[in-house]
Chain A
Amino acid sequence: MTDSVAIRSSDVKATAAPLTANKAVAGPRVNGRVVVMTLYLLFLMLPIYWLVIMSLKTNTEITSGLTLWPQNLTFDNYVTIFTDRSWYSGYINSLTYVLINTVLSIAFALPAAYAFSRYRFLGDKHLFFWLLTNRMAPPAVFALPFFNLYSAIGLFDTPWAVALAHCLFNVPLAVWILEGFMSGVPREIDETAAIDGYSFPRFFIKIFMPLIASGVGVAAFFCFMFSWVELLLARTLTTVNAKPIAATMTRTVSASGMDWGLLAAAGVLTIIPGALVIWFVRNYIAKGFALGRV
């Protein structure tokens, strides 16, 4: 019966390509992949490169013609930002509300994430959906009501207003990232601790927290990032005292007689917090953006 299907040897003849690597390589020819990757990364890096070199140029050089790297290297733009209060206070304001928001989000999310990872309870599925919709809610819809709300309770133009407003999308995010990490911790640990006579708060802080430390780090990073990159709400809820750096930059853009070098330097400085910690979270980026669902 084995001969019932005769396949001519030419049917199955494949190219005798020598194997280049010991490990099975499961892709197309290496060259194609390298080309795609190189082009893509080049596409990503060029605009950032342009911003960085512009921040190191004088305005005369920027406007007088195209140069691929600074002819007269200058750090004046950065000096201006670090010495002019109207500039650097923007960074301080931004960092203030971002940090408040991160701490709030994590503090609120920790017990809730624990509940979701360990128990079923009335309405848990609906609560998940509701949290998801808040992550998806357009800030534009909330801009005006937030303006009214925080004016009414006297928090307008304080870092607290922005920090609380950003909780709208950051708390659900933190809940779901933490839940993902907590589900990875076996329940037996909870039970063993209870048998060993640990009270719940002591167990949570002494035993459970160290186990999910990396999860807390990842959640904190993403709360920080999403609060840092958001502008619409931050700008709507502040005027003078708590004005974020992002808003300071927009003012410069619309002003007549552009100070391109200064604008670029301010932009570069906003990229730095992300660039600094990116190395430590590189394996969790997909997880963070996908609400811990990957």
Chain B
Amino acid sequence: MARITLDHLAHAYKPDPQTPQDYALKEINHVWSQGGAYALLGPSGCGKTTLLNIISGLVRPTRGRILFDDRDVTDLATEARNIAQVFQFPVVYDTMTVRENLAFPLKNRRVPKDRATKRVEEIAHLLDLTPVLSRKASNLTADMKQKISLGRGLVRPDVAAILFDEPLTVIDPHLKWQLRSTLKEIHRALDITMIYVTHDQTEALTFADKVVVMHDGAVVQTGTPEELFVRPAHTFVGHFIGSPGMNILPCRVEGAAAYLGKERVALQRGYLNLPKSERIELGIRPEFVRLQPRGAGLPVWIRRIDDIGRARIARVDLDGRTIAASVPENLSVSGDEASLHLDPRHIHIYADGHLVAGEPLEGRAA
């Protein structure tokens, strides 16, 4: 049971890092609170596995400290950290039975046999492994093996956190959601901090209370799934999360209006202090862009309309920019000319990729 604090943590695999590019993991400050269910989301190569290995102690960070509660564990070996980890490919001890596998961490820590046996049975029950306890672990299916890996972490009552490194990679699709809900149940039942690394947004958003999105070795946003959806702090988050991702449109901002080429879009906030030299973009999710018959709104050409099951998404062309927009259910589209309505509450302005808060417009009508 512990709160995990990352304090000015950074890591480079090269021995003598100079530029930020040398760092696989750029400086990060973060607190994982006790009992939270976190997801670490990002594309492959973004540094999330490095971060996970630093937390578990398999990699020592180049700079910064890592604290469990108030204890500095930066230089502590893995086995001294009370951390459990479930790997991408199931790791089981082939020659042992499931029972022996589960008891292995306790045996190594010289827990008395009767207590160990009792604990193993409890955890086996929790993971539905009781029927296979006496079987050889090597002959089981991948999802069973992953449960055993997890179980080996759970049997240790002192475990501070469980780390998952893309644990569903080799699991059959129809068993994935089942295993994931088992994880949720266990999280609720045991009140253990869980950190779940994945590149799959669905896995991250359904598992976690809080999602940490990483991009290019840095954390770009931490928030609840809803926050990530409604208010992406970085164009990468907007683009990476959501299906289809956020529309990111280069624009020019003057006061409370953005210009997409010649077209003017009214904004709800003022952006007087935008940095001049940087790349300015307007971001809005397709869910908040509505296609409507030609008339008021931005004039666009319809390229195609995709039915993605729960909604219809139109790809339209606005002055050379491609925009994804949602098509209202009752709208029947004829011809390829239409208009767009952008919900002003959900328009965000980004400078060089980062969200700009803007100032409230005082005393002026929106």
Contacts and interface: CB of A to CB of B under 8 A. Distances in A.
A18 interface: yes
A18 B75 contact: yes
A14 B79 contact: yes
A4 B119 contact: yes
B72 to A, nearest CB: 10
A6 B157 contact: yes
A3 B157 CA distance: 6
Contact of B158 (A4, A12, A16, A23): A12
Contacts of B157: 2-7
A11 interface: yes
Interface in A12-41: 12-19, 22-24
Given A5-B115, A24-B58, A15 B77 contact: yes
A11 B119 CA distance: 16
Contacts of B118: 4-5
Nearest to B108: A12
Nearest to A11: B109
Nearest to B60: A19
A1 B119 CA distance: 9
A22 B60 contact: yes
A14 B189 CA distance: 29
A18 B118 CA distance: 34
Contact of B80 (A2, A16, A22, A24): A16
Given A11-B110, A12-B82, A19 B119 contact: no
A9 B156 CA distance: 12
B130 to A, nearest CB: 15
B77 A5 contact: no
Contacts of A1: 122, 189-190
Nearest to B50: A22
Contact of A19 (B75, B106, B109): B75
Q: How large is the interface on A (under 10, 10 to 19, 20 to 34, 35 or more residues)?
A: 20 to 34
Given A12-B158, A13-B80, A19-B77, 20 more contacts: A1-B189, A2-B191, A2-B192, A4-B118, A4-B122, A5-B111, A5-B118, A5-B119, A7-B158, A11-B110, A12-B156, A14-B80, A15-B77, A15-B80, A16-B80, A19-B60, A22-B59, A22-B60, A23-B59, A24-B58
Contacts of A13: 80
Contacts of A7: 109, 111, 156-158
A5 B155 CA distance: 9
B13 interface: yes
Interface string A108-133: 00000000000000000000000000
A190 to B, nearest CB: 29
A19 B75 CA distance: 7
Nearest to A24: B58
B20 to A, nearest CB: 19
Secondary structure of the A contact surface, majority rule: loop
Contacts of A12: 80, 82, 109, 156, 158
A263 to B, nearest CB: 51
Interface residues of B, number: 27
Interface string A31-69: 000000000000000000000000000000000000000
Contacts of B156: 7, 12
Nearest to B114: A5
B80 A9 contact: no
14 contacts: A1-B190, A2-B157, A2-B192, A4-B119, A5-B118, A7-B157, A12-B82, A12-B109, A14-B77, A16-B75, A16-B77, A19-B59, A19-B77, A22-B59
Contacts of B79: 14
A16 to B, nearest CB: 5
Contacts of A15: 77, 80
B76 interface: yes
B225 interface: no
Contacts of A19: 57, 59-60, 75, 77
B82 A16 contact: no
Nearest to B126: A1
A23 B158 CA distance: 26
A18 B60 contact: yes
Contacts of B119: 4-5
A218 to B, nearest CB: 29
A184 to B, nearest CB: 21
Contacts of A24: 58
Contacts of A4: 118-119, 122, 157
Interface string B160-201: 000000000000000000000000000001111000000000
Contacts of A9: 158
A18 B59 CA distance: 11
Interface in B47-67: 57-60
Q: Which of B79, B122, B158, B192 is packed against the most chain A CB atoms within 10 Å?
A: B158
Contact of A17 (B77, B111, B158, B189): B77
Task: Tell me which of A5, A15, A24 has the highest count of chain B C-beta atoms within 10 A of its own C-beta.
Answer: A5
Interface in B91-108: 106
Nearest to A17: B77
A5 B190 CA distance: 14
A11 B116 CA distance: 13
Contacts of B192: 2
A13 B122 CA distance: 24
A98 to B, nearest CB: 43
Interface in B13-68: 13, 57-60
A124 to B, nearest CB: 28
Nearest to B77: A17
A14 B156 CA distance: 15
Interface in A266-289: none
A7 B157 CA distance: 8
Contacts of B60: 18-19, 22
B153 to A, nearest CB: 12
Contacts of B76: 16
Contacts of A17: 77
A22 B60 CA distance: 6
Give the residue among A6, A15, A22, A23 with the most B Cβ atoms within 10 A: A22
